[in-house]
Structure 1
Amino acid sequence: MKRFFAKKVITALLFTLILFTFSFLNWKVAYPDLKVSALSYWTDNEQNKWEQLSTLIANVSNTMSDKVFEKYTYIETYGYIQELLGKNEINNFEVIKATDGTLHYTYFTSGANDVSKLVERMKRLNQAASEVGSKVIYVMTPDKYITGVTKFERGMPYNYANETADNFLEELADEEIDTIDFRDLMKEDDQYKPESFYKTDHHWKIETAFWAFTKFVDVLEEKYGFEFPNEELYANLDNYNQITYKDSYIGSMGRKEGKLYSKVEDFTFIYPKFDTNFYFYAQSGSQEIKTEGRFEKSVTFTSLLSGDGDVYDATNDKYFTYMDGNPAFAEVNNFNEPNGAKVLFIKDSLMVPVASFFSLGCSKVYMIDPRYYYGNIEKVISDYKFDYIFVSYTPQNLTEEFFPFYESNLPGRWWMHDCPFINWNGVL
C-alpha cells in the first residue's frame, strides 16, 4: 500500500514539475510581446484606459495562446498525423482542404449573413465623403472559394461568403453606391481560378495582385475618368523585376497544421525597374515606421525575403513584404507624381499589394486597417478630403468588425479619442 501511495506522490510531483516547467518556458517566450502590449496600452490610451481594457485583455489572451514553447513542433506532429489519417479538416473545421489540395477558411452556417447594418454604415460614409468632395467606391476582392470550381468532400461546411457578398453589393447598388467586383473582372480575364491564390493562404498571389492593379486602373479610367499618369510605364509588367523564392512560403492557413500537411510554396516578389521615389510612414499602437527612397527600399520591406527567421512566424510572412502587411495607419508619398490623386484605402490585407502598385500613379495613398486602428475614421475622412475613398474587404470579412465607422448619425464615435495619427511629423 505504501509503495502504491509513493508512486502516486512521485507521479503527482513529476506532473507538477513538468507543468511548472512548461509554464515558465511559455511565459519566457510570450514575455516580450506581453510587454509591448502593456506598454502600448498605457501609452496609447491615456484618456480612456478603462474603455480599452477589454482590448488589452484580449491581446494578452491571444499572445499567451500564440506564443507557446516549441509550438510548431506540436503543430507539425499534429498535422503529420492528420495527413497520415487522410483528414481534410483542421482545428474543428476552421481550415479545410478542398479536393484540389488548397486550404480554405470556413465555418458552419445555414445561409448568407445579414448585411443591412454594413450597408447603412457605407451609406453614411458615402454621404459624409460626398460633402467634402470625396468619391466613394466599394471594391470587392475575391474569396478563394470559387463557385462551381472549388469542391469540398461531403460533410465539409460551406460559409456562404460569396452569397453574402452578392447581397451586399446588390444592396449597395440600391443605395446608389458605386462598386467594383473583382470576382467578375477575374472571370472576364480567366483569372478566377485556384492557381491565382496561394494554396496555404487566403490571399491572391502577388502576380495576381499585379494583374488586379492594372485592371483596377482600367476600370477607374473607363468608368470614373480617373487620371492615372504614365500608365504605359507603371501598368506594364515588362517594366518590373520578378524574383521567385522557391519553396519559401507558407500562408496563415498552412501555419495552422504545418509543412508536413500542407507543404511550402513559391513566392514571387515584383518591384519596378524604373526610377521611383517615396516616403512611407506607418503606425500601429506605439510603433512607428518611416522609410524613404526607391519602391523596394520604402514601400516594401525586403528583409522578409531573406529567409532568416522561422517560416511559421507571422512576422516573417512574405506577403507582408508590401507595406509591412497590415499597419493600423499608413501613408505613402510619391514624389515622382506630385499632381496625382490623393486616395484612402479602408481595407483588409488582400488590397495591400494592389495599393502598393497603385501608389506609383498617385501623389499620396493612405491606408487604414479598422481591426487595429483606434482613431476616428470619420475625422480622417472629414479632415483629409481625399479624391477617392476605396473601401475593400474580401467576402469573408463582411462583418461589423470591419465596418466600425458611421455606426450612427452622430458626427463620429463618441467613445473614440481623436485620431492619434493626424499630428505626426511626417509629410502630409
Structure 2
Amino acid sequence: MKRFFAKKEITAILFIGILFTLSFFNWRSAYATMKEHTVSYLASAGNKWENLSSFIMDVDNTIHEQVYQKYYYIEGYGYIQELLGKKEINNFEVVKAKDGTLHYTYFTSGPNQVTSLVERMERLKKAATKVGSEVIYVMTPDKYVTGVTEFDKGIPYNYANETADNFLQELEKKEIDTIDFRKLMKEEKEFAPDSFYVSDHHWKVETAFWAFTKFVEVLEDNYGLVFPNKGEYTNLENYNQIVYEDSYIGSMGRKEGKLYSKVEDFTFIYPKFETNFYYYAQNGSRDVKAEGRFEQSLAFTSLLSGKGNIYDATNDKYFTYMNGNPGFVEVNNFNEPDAPKVLFIKDSLMVPVASFFALGCSKVYMIDPRYYSGNIEEVIDEYQFDYIFVSYTPQNLTEEFFPFYKE
C-alpha cells in the first residue's frame, strides 16, 4: 500500500513540476511582448480605466499565441488526427474533402439571408452614381466546387454558393451590375480543385493572374473600360515566374500542421517590363510606404525569403502582394497617369488580382472593411472613382463585410 501511494505522490510531483516548467517557458516566450503592451498601456493618454479592457485583451491574446513550442503541439495534434483518419479539425471549423483539400465550413440548414446586404449595395450604387462612379459587384469563387468537391458522410455543408446565387439574383433585380467569376471559371474549365491551394481558401496566384486577364476582358467588352497596353500587361510571357517549392502552408493548414495536410509550392509572378509605383497602406496606427518597380512597391518579397516560421500568419506568402489586407491602400501608377482611378472594397482573394490590375490604372485604392476605421461613404463621395468594385467570396457575404450605407 505504501508503494502504491508513493507512486501516486511521485506522479503528482512530476505532473506539477512539468506544469510549472512549461508555465515558466511560456512566460519567458511571451514576456517581451507583454512588457511592450504594459509599457504602452501605462504611457497611453486618456482614462486608464477606458483602456484597461483593450490592454487585458492584448495580454490575453499574447498568452494564447506565444506558447512555448506552440507548433510542436499543433503538429502532434494534427498527426494524431491523421492517424485516426479524422476529416475535421477544431469542431468542424476545418474539414478535409475526399480529394484531400481543406475547407472552412460550419453547421447550417440553408443559405444566409442577404436582404440587408442587397439594400446596402443599392444605397452604395445610388451614392456612387451621383459622383459619376460605376459600381460593379465581383463575386470571387468559393473553394467548394459544386458537383466536384465531395465530403464524407456527416461533414456539414455551409451553403455558401447558394447564398451567393441568391445575393446575385437580388442584385440583378436592383439593376446592380455583377461579374461572377464562378461562372467565368466554369466556362473556361478553371473552376477546379487545383485552382486553389490545398491548405488555404485562396485561389493560387496563377489562377489570380488568369482572373486578372479575364477581368480586363469583361470590363472592356461590357463596361467601356480602356485598359492601356492590354496586350503587354495581360500576356503571362511578359512576367517572371519564380516557384518556391515546398514553402507554403495556408491558413487552414496552419491550424493542424503539415503532417495533416501538406506543404505546397508557391509561385511569385511579377512583370519583366518596366513599372513604377507608389504604395501607401494604413492599418490602424501603422503606415507603410514604398516606391519603385512592381516587385519593390506592390510586392513584399521579404515574405519569400523563407526566414520566418512557416506557421506564422505574418509570413503568409499569399500576402506578398500588397502586404495582404491593410485597412486602406493607395497605389499610384506613374506610368499610366491618364488611366482609370478605381476602388476595391474587398476581401483577400481580390488582392493579387488588384495588384496586376493596377498596371493599367492611374490609381488603385483598396479598403478592407474588417480593418478600416474610416468612413467608406465619405471616401466614395470625396475621391469620385471611375469604377468601384465590391468583391467578397461567398462565405464572406455577412454583415461584417457590409458596414457601409446601413441607413
- The 5 Å alignment of 1:241-320 reads 241-320=240-319
Equivalent in the alignment of 2:101: 102
Return the letter of the residue paired with 2:29: V
Rounded to whole Å, the distance in 2 between the matches of 1:79 and 1:109 is 26
Rounded to whole Å, the distance in 1 between the matches of 2:297 and 2:199 is 27
Q: Does the alignment pair 1:127 with 2:126?
A: yes
For residues 293 and 195 of structure 1, do their structure 2 counterparts lie closer, same or farther at Cα, with a shift above 3 Å needed? same
Return the letter of the residue paired with 1:390: F
Equivalent in the alignment of 1:378: 377
- The 5 Å alignment of 1:321-336 reads 321-336=320-335
Q: Does the alignment pair 1:237 with 2:236?
A: yes
Q: Say whether the 8 Å CA contact 1:291–1:298 is kept in structure 2.
A: yes
Rounded to whole Å, the distance in 2 between the matches of 1:161 and 1:45 is 44
Three-state SS of the structure 1 residue aligned to 2:259 is helix
Three-state SS of the structure 2 residue aligned to 1:259 is coil
Rounded to whole Å, the distance in 2 between the matches of 1:43 and 1:189 is 57
Equivalent in the alignment of 2:22: 22
Identify the range of structure 1 (61-70 vs 384-393) with the bigger mean alpha-carbon deviation. Answer: 61-70
Return the letter of the residue paired with 1:292: E
Q: Say whether the 8 Å CA contact 1:44–1:286 is kept in structure 2.
A: no
Equivalent in the alignment of 1:84: 83
The alpha carbon displacement at 1:359 in A equals 0.3
Equivalent in the alignment of 1:65: 64
For residues 197 and 169 of structure 1, do their structure 2 counterparts lie closer, same or farther at Cα, with a shift above 3 Å needed? same
Identity %: 73
**Unaligned runs of at least 5 residues, structure 1:** 409-428
The alpha carbon displacement at 1:238 in A equals 0.7
Return the letter of the residue paired with 2:194: E
Rounded to whole Å, the distance in 1 between the matches of 2:212 and 2:374 is 28
Three-state SS of the structure 1 residue aligned to 2:178 is strand
The alpha carbon displacement at 1:29 in A equals 3.2
Rounded to whole Å, the distance in 1 between the matches of 2:354 and 2:401 is 18
The alpha carbon displacement at 1:21 in A equals 3.8
Return the letter of the residue paired with 2:393: T
Return the letter of the residue paired with 2:203: W
Q: Does the alignment pair 1:369 with 2:368?
A: yes
The alpha carbon displacement at 1:64 in A equals 3.3
Three-state SS of the structure 2 residue aligned to 1:288 is strand
Rounded to whole Å, the distance in 2 between the matches of 1:42 and 1:352 is 37
Rounded to whole Å, the distance in 2 between the matches of 1:149 and 1:32 is 48
Three-state SS of the structure 2 residue aligned to 1:212 is helix
- TM-score, L = length of structure 2: 0.93
Return the letter of the residue paired with 2:137: Y
Q: CA RMSD in A?
A: 2.6
Q: Does the alignment pair 1:211 with 2:217?
A: no
Equivalent in the alignment of 2:400: 401
Q: How many residues align?
A: 407
Rounded to whole Å, the distance in 1 between the matches of 2:323 and 2:150 is 33
Rounded to whole Å, the distance in 1 between the matches of 2:118 and 2:42 is 35
Q: Say whether the 8 Å CA contact 1:80–1:260 is kept in structure 2.
A: yes
Rounded to whole Å, the distance in 2 between the matches of 1:43 and 1:281 is 28
Deviations 1:203-251 (A, max 9, x none): 0000000000000001111111011110001011010010111111111
Q: Say whether the 8 Å CA contact 1:327–1:372 is kept in structure 2.
A: yes
Q: Say whether the 8 Å CA contact 1:347–1:393 is kept in structure 2.
A: yes
The alpha carbon displacement at 1:67 in A equals 2.5
Deviations 1:156-175 (A, max 9, x none): 11000000101111111111
Rounded to whole Å, the distance in 2 between the matches of 1:93 and 1:271 is 37
Q: Say whether the 8 Å CA contact 1:40–1:286 is kept in structure 2.
A: no
Identify the range of structure 1 (32-41 vs 136-145) with the bigger mean alpha-carbon deviation. Answer: 32-41
Q: Say whether the 8 Å CA contact 1:89–1:97 is kept in structure 2.
A: yes
Rounded to whole Å, the distance in 2 between the matches of 1:41 and 1:81 is 41
Return the letter of the residue paired with 1:76: E
Equivalent in the alignment of 1:391: 390
Three-state SS of the structure 2 residue aligned to 1:260 is coil
Three-state SS of the structure 2 residue aligned to 1:22 is helix
